[in-house]
Amino acid sequence: MRIGDLATATGASARSLRYYEEQGLLASERTSGGQRHYPDSAIERVSLIQSLLAAGLSSSTIRDVLPCITEEAIRTPWLAERLRAELGRVEEQITVLHRTRTILADLVEHYAV
């Protein structure tokens, strides 16, 4: 599929898709005219990339993690430790967000008109 089709299917902008490719997160083949062509599996990959980015992972961390999803043989103790660190960071963000939500809910309850 062409970049516009992938953008439509995933909600990602063409610019984001080109960035993912530059970062080594997504691959395409080029037509003789130089247009990018993505496999159908790119839809799922882009969705995963977007989820990981939304969770706050850097593109370099995502580049390291993505192959491990499909290739068990490359999973290493170093990568497991890196993932544990990322998980801890995300869990801390969740804790902070829950605290913030509680404060805001209390404010709404007491001061809403």
Q: How many Cβ atoms are within 10 Å of 52's Cβ, its own excluded?
A: 18
- pLDDT, tens digit, for every residue of 70-106? 777 777 788 888 889 889 988 999 999 999 999 999 9
Report pTM: 0.74
What's the confidence (pLDDT) of residue 6?
Answer: 97
Q: How many CB atoms lie within 10 A of CB 57?
A: 19
| Nearest C-alpha neighbor of 43 from the set 19, 9, 3 | 9
Percent of residues, the chain, with pLDDT higher than 70? 98
Q: What share of the chain is helix, strand, coil (3-state, %, to 5)?
A: 70, 5, 25
Give me Rg for the CA atoms of the chain: 19
Contact 48, 13 (CB under 8 A): no
